[in-house]
Structure 1
């Protein structure tokens, strides 16, 4: 049953993120949660600081979830985060403790044109 509860909490979290409902978005985090952005070398400590940093971003954000996988205390979400119309392909790795996020690491990647050398073996992803 615990996995179902965490999955429901993740669904609520991402829906609140897409709606810019910062209060609901951050209910999933422990008070002492840590958020890492390895590509920029940033770490944010504490649920209130995580929420404040996201609320301060001036960009209009949209979240399109591609898939969520996980079990127990480790869950991964693949999604497209669009800032002011520009998509960023994103992976969020969440580590839970006591049914709340204790640590999250997010990775971001820009899109790129398909390689001509592999065209005969690929199909477009929608």
Structure 2
């Protein structure tokens, strides 16, 4: 699949995610896709289970902002922020494609934290 088509599929996926359209959001996945959440030690088998899990999330996201998408060939990375109950969660999604569908995704989630003052002379704050 040409990279332009993968980017279009990713854009459609993230737009559907932001809109809460769980059907369109999961069109990007192969039926037997695997999604890993390393921080909680969970693996979700299959598009149907992934869609069901996300459909039943008790704290539905209220905001969604893609910062950047990088990739080549069958490996694509999206850096984005999801807002849950007024709090941003910084997220990285690593997607592996086979043909035109995602067969494996790994997602990392991180809460924001205060920058320590001891390093302020070497850094700039970003928004």
TM-score by length of 2: 0.95
Once the two structures are superposed, what CA deviation does each residue of 1:56-77 show, in whole Å capped at 9, x if it has no partner?
A: 1121212111111001100000
Q: Give unmatched runs, 5+ long, in structure 1.
A: none
After TM superposition, the structure 1 = structure 2 runs for residues 1-126 of structure 1, keeping only pairs within 5 Å, are: 2-61=2-61, 62-126=63-127
Aligned length: 126
CA–CA distance in 2 between the matches of 1:74 and 1:112? 29
Once the two structures are superposed, what CA deviation does each residue of 1:21-48 show, in whole Å capped at 9, x if it has no partner?
A: 0000000000000000011111111111
CA–CA distance in 2 between the matches of 1:5 and 1:35? 22
CA–CA distance in 2 between the matches of 1:105 and 1:22? 18
Local SS of the residue matching 1:40: coil
Once the two structures are superposed, what CA deviation does each residue of 1:71-116 show, in whole Å capped at 9, x if it has no partner?
A: 1100000111111111111100000001110000000111110121
TM-score by length of 1: 0.96
CA–CA distance in 2 between the matches of 1:59 and 1:18? 14
CA–CA distance in 2 between the matches of 1:124 and 1:15? 28
Q: CA RMSD in A?
A: 1.0
